[in-house]
Amino acid sequence: MSHLGENHLQPINLFEYEQLATQHLSQMALDYYSSGAWDEITLRDNRAAFERWKLRPRMLVDVSDRNLTTSILGQPLALPLLIAPMAFQCLAHPDGEIATAKAAASAGVGMVLSTLATKTIEEVAAVGQNFPNALQWFQLYIHKDRGLTRALVERAYTAGYKALCLTVDAPLLGQRERDRRNEFSLPLGLQAANIATIKDLDIPHAQGESGLFTYFAEQLNPALTWKDLAWLQSICPLPLVIKGILRGDDAIRAVECGVKAIIVSNHGGRQLDSAIASLDALAEIVTAVDNRAEILVDGGIRRGTDILKALALGAKAVLIGRPILWGLAVAGEVGVSRILTMLENEFSLAMALSGCQKLQDIDSSLITLPHGSK
């Protein structure tokens, strides 16, 4: 891993952006973005999983031109990448989710807007309207107040989002001890914009506790079950994507409920600590679904080779989380654009060095676990 030295003017990889971002973020914001649940075992393992898997490149293939394009739910992408839903992006930069949306649309990658964004559904959608092929999804938490949930869904549909992305791994918020120690709350002037415009709710100041943990406990519905997917589909015609699946049987159930895409995810190691790494759960889910839904994966992706490994294990695309926040903190929209360009360039090079001209050439023969690994 590279590290910034005194003479470095510009980060040249995602790890260096992360290091530089620490100079641009408050301690509370840095801990909120970077922390995982409890002992952060899953947080670390998400990254370690990519390092365990090894590539088996093909030789003597004409790779003078590579085609990185794909489509997700029928929408074109310049490369198989979406920006994961992440709350409170204005903690990193005043332009927050708007800067992220502009960078995503310019790069031809997708963006998933968080329910707990610090810019409104409509403000972010307006960015996409300037790009005919912009892929924007809306990530949903189902609140105890069904009227609030319905209002969020209706606003996303009216604004032109292309899918609903339901997060299912957070009936309660995972215990992130750094947030608890900091008594995490939003600074004066920032709010959960989409919630605040519907109902007078915000992230509370909680003595001895994370304000977000308290919000989840008070407002989100921990009784959510598979039957609630039918209700969600009944109020909105958008395709339903489920985020947070780690088991093959759950993936099969999702498909049976009409889900069109599944994001294999452990919430960036922020929910159940000791949960399986997303990459390690991927193959089982791909096999179980058997092409009946599109499979995506997030968690721990930091290099172009990581994208290659995820696709070799059967993902249609990947989602990138924290590195986007590092780019945003360092240089706003420009920083996010640089992160995306780095990943595109690294992925294109990894394809070339593995003997792949196009995404269809990436298959399971390219990847292996070393003998004795588990």
Catalytic residues: 267
Q: What are the φ and ψ backbone dihedral angles of 298, each rounded to 5 degrees?
A: -135, 175
- Interior CA angle at 40 toward 38 and 41, to 5°? 115
Which of 305, 247, 327, 270 has the alpha carbon at shortest distance from 17? 327
| Residue 359 to residues 106, 149, 308, 317, 326, Cα–Cα distance (Å) | 21, 37, 9, 10, 28
Tell me how crowded residue 28 is: count the other CB atoms within 10 A of its CB. 18
Look up residue 230 and give its amino acid.
Answer: A
Q: Which of 109, 151, 114 is nearest to 341 (CA)?
A: 109
Sign of CA dihedral 328, 329, 331, 335: negative
**Of the candidates 144, 99, 145, 141, which has an alpha carbon nearest to the alpha carbon of residue 123?**
99
Q: Which of 53, 79, 68, 78 shows the shortest CA–CA distance to 305? A: 53
Distance CA 229, CA 36 (A): 28
